[in-house]
Each structure stands twice: as C-alpha cells, then as structure tokens.
C-alpha cells in the first residue's frame, strides 16, 4: 500500500523538525518546504494527498495565499492551517472558520501546540472524507 503524502510548509525549522518526526512516525511520506514562495514554485511538480500550512510566513497571510493556489489547482486536496497566530497576536480564525468555513480556503483550522495524536486523527478523517 502506498504511503499518504503530506506537504508541510512552515518557516519555523524547529517546529518543522518536530512535525516531520511525528508525521514520519505515523507512517506518512512528508515533503517539507520552508516558505510560501518555495512551495508555490514547486506546486505543479509536487504530488501529495494533504497539505499542512503555517499561516504567517513571508507575509501575515502567506498560508491563506498558498491555500488559495492549492485549492485553485487541486480542490480535492485537504488543507490544514496550523498556526500560532493566537499566541502571537491574540487573534484566532477559529470562530470565522466555524461560522463561515467557505470564506477560508482550508478544511481544518488548528492552533500550534496541538497534540500529535490529535493531529493524526484529523489527518485520517480528512483523508477518509476525501476518498
């Protein structure tokens, strides 16, 4: 059986290393890119089943910009927005996502600090719903 491929885009190398450890431990084949720009330059040649994006990278909304481009080319790809915006700014998109999910081009909104086993369950649910 072929491994599920995950695209991880985050500009925090320490966080990315931690995520890569857990995603690999859970059996996923993970492609890591450190920025919105690096991901956009490779979107056409990358093949993945799910994307996990940071929100704030080069710009405050880099993750949303990247999510829009992914959904425009591959609307079937589930996207998890994994962000520390609440810790950094006090603002959270969780209420907007719950009340108007159609406004955000993502499938799930999560705050950084999520337990790895909980993230794995979310990934599994999104992959199962995709099939």
pLDDT tens track, the chain, 131 positions: 689 999 999 999 999 999 999 999 999 999 999 999 999 999 989 999 999 999 888 888 899 899 999 999 999 999 999 987 545 544 555 455 454 545 678 899 888 889 999 999 999 999 987 65
Does residue 3 contact residue 50 with C-beta atoms inside 8 Å?
Answer: no
Domains, the chain, ordered by start: 5-130 (3.40.50.2300)
- For the CA atoms of 31, 37, 40, 46, what is the dihedral angle to 10 degrees? -20
Give φ, ψ of 31 to 5 degrees. Answer: -105, 120
d(CA 22, CA 24): 5
Residue 107: Cβ within 10 Å count? 21
């Amino acid at each position: 059986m072929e491994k599920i491929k995950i695209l991880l885009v985050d500009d925090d190398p320490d966080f990315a290393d931690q995520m890569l450890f857990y995603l690999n431990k859970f059996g996923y084949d993970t492609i890591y890119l450190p920025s919105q720009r690096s991901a956009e330059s490779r979107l056409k040649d990358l093949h993945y089943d799910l994307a996990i994006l940071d929100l704030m990278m080069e710009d405050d909304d880099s993750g949303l910009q990247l999510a829009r481009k992914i959904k425009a080319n591959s609307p079937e790809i589930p996207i998890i927005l994994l962000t520390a915006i609440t810790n950094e700014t006090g603002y959270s998109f969780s209420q907007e996502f719950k009340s108007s999910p159609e406004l955000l081009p993502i499938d799930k909104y999560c705050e950084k600090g999520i337990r790895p086993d909980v993230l794995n369950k979310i990934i599994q649910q999104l992959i199962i719903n995709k099939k």
